[in-house]
Homo-oligomer: A and B are copies of this chain.
């Protein structure tokens, strides 16, 4: 019987690394969905410092969503990420770390609220869109691009998009100004073989157009890290992660797992662990993100985790069977 050689993957050999890979921290942006974006300045600065020290490439500091739709009194500063708030944390950001903010289609007054890049400490705008909002999202991408930003289009709830619509969307996105097209498994519903399939499809459109593919995973089925490295192996060069996996519901790909996996010597694990210990874990008792049975169930059903989040905020938290039966009876 012949011995097989370890196969070279698109990610390179097992001991080496792919220098094109860039990591984006979305702790404050995605985590803000668990506390209406009310983080203390100390926490945001803790994440910022950790990203700089750990060699993370981008930090997404929050949303730039509408102050009319989401009145500042009802939300913390990272729902709107105004320039003076960002600069209170990062000054002029005299570091190699790039800063990003996310604008949601139909929730952002992007023309007015996103400054020209030359007047902002932000480097990148990421536009989050559902499939039916693609034309609007492309206008938002053009606006940000014309203002001088790097741009990314993040296609949410991918696991529910019919294939014909996805093909049409990718065709349009490939012809746009955007630099990155990001797979978003909003419901944490996908597993490895499906990631391979989506990566092949996204790459077939993106690479020919000179764009990168990104991966933003959720942990409903404890697959956020696994799916992120699967996408990496299949060619994704833009990877989202968050400190201790902080993020909506089951949370995200944990930064500490991702950096411990990547071999680029520019990355450092210790500052991430420090941030997790001193800034993130102390919030767990209150914010309660992370894998839990209700999120497993919504993930398997390919549903938004909102029913699981509501259940976990109710007095029934822990009554797994009650939640399971409630969704089964709905069907």
Contacts and interface: CB of A to CB of B under 8 A. Distances in A.
A204 B1 CA distance: 7
A193 B9 contact: yes
A293 B293 CA distance: 21
A12 to B, nearest CB: 11
Nearest to A5: B197
Contacts of A281: 318
A167 interface: yes
A222 interface: yes
A296 B320 CA distance: 27
Q: Chain A interface: which size bin?
A: 35 or more
A326 to B, nearest CB: 13
A4 B270 CA distance: 42
Nearest to A277: B320
Contacts of A226: 191-192, 222-223, 225-227
A273 B293 contact: yes
A9 B14 CA distance: 23
Contacts of A273: 293, 320-321, 324
Of listed A3, A193, A222, A257, residue having the most chain B CB within 10 A: A222
The 9 lowest CB-CB distance pairs between A and B, nearest first, are A226-B226, A277-B320, A260-B300, A273-B320, A222-B225, A1-B204, A4-B200, A223-B226, A273-B324
14 contacts: A4-B197, A4-B201, A191-B261, A221-B257, A221-B260, A221-B261, A222-B222, A223-B225, A226-B226, A256-B296, A273-B321, A274-B321, A277-B320, A277-B321
Interface of A: 1, 3-4, 6-7, 9, 14, 167, 191-194, 196-197, 200-201, 204-205, 208, 219, 221-227, 229-230, 233, 254, 256-257, 260-261, 269-270, 273-274, 276-277, 281, 293, 296-297, 300, 318-321, 324
